[in-house]
A = this chain, B = another copy of it.
Amino acid sequence: MFPAVLGWGQRFMPRHADPALPERRRAQILEAARRCFLERGFRETTVEEICAEARFSPGALYRYFDAKADIVAAIALEARAHAQAALHRLEDGADLIDALTELALIFFAAFEGERDGALLADIWGEAARDRALAQALAARDGVVAARVAAAIARAQRAGRAYPALSPQDAAEALMAMLDGMALRLALRREAGSAAAARRFRAFAVHVLKPKR
């Protein structure tokens, strides 16, 4: 039976019986959606399937997300946040090249192979027509690029990076290369993140190391 104490019509009912419930529900939906998307891709997955996986009804799902696209958007931001964690090593005094390579490896590995790679392209496809998502991704990218640029500038001052190079331009170029390489991995539908990270590293060394 429904306990009247928590009933909807009750006078001094707390606004949220469980204040953490919305966040729990969102996480529950995102987890289910991620499993579905990896299995079948974003477009092939129906809202009904996500609901079944999350043991939810469609009506309840739309209480926590305004649209199916918002679910991929949330997953996209999660993935970026994950890679961003690797940035801490850039400030840790770790070698610049090592830290960049680790960032690349995490990013590539997150989208390696057929299914995860398709998710990366899905996200970009969504961002292309979802202004808010595009801006959110661009904002994250801006933060990453700025921190990479700062790390490059520090390395230059320490004589450990080629000095006649704009840190901002170099950072932008390297980030663009990361995106492009990840995309190529995705479209080839192969596992090759380790090899890609090695190629990225060799290139970063060539670009950044002081010439002599």
Q: Is the CB of B199 within 8 A of A169?
A: yes
By a CB distance below 8 angstroms, the chain B residues around A141 are 184
Q: Is A159 in contact with chain B by the CB < 8 A criterion?
A: no
Main SS class of interface, A: helix
Asked if B176 and A180 make an inter-chain contact with CB atoms under 8 angstroms apart, the answer reads: yes
Which one of B173, B177, B183 lies within 8 Å of A199 (CB-CB)? Answer: B173
A102 part of interface (Cβ distance < 8 Å): no
* A49 → chain B closest CB, angstroms: 16
Distance in angstroms from A118 CB to nearest chain B CB is: 4
* A90 contacts partner chain B, Cβ-Cβ < 8 Å: no
Contact A183 B173 (CB under 8 A): no
**How many monomers of this protein are in the complex?**
2
Cα A121 to Cα B126 in complex, Å, equals: 8
> How many of chain A's residues have a CB under 8 angstroms from any CB in B?
45
For A174-189 the 0/1 string (1 means CB < 8 A from B) is: 0111111101101111
Q: Which of A12-20, A81-89, A202-210 contacts B (4 or more CB under 8 A)?
A: A202-210
Contacting pair B177 A184 (CB below 8 A): no
Closest to A188 in B: B138
- In the assembled complex, the Cα of A206 lies from the Cα of B166 at a distance in Å of 11
| Known pairs A177-B180, A180-B180; A172 contacts B199 (CB<8 A) | yes
Taken together as a complex, chains A and B put the C-alpha atoms of A124 and B200 apart, in Å, by: 22
Interface residues of A in 92-122 (CB under 8 A from B): 117-122
A44 to B88, CA, bound (A): 40
* Bound Cα distance from A165 to B202, whole angstroms: 9
User: Which residue on B lies nearest to A124, using beta carbons?
Assistant: B121
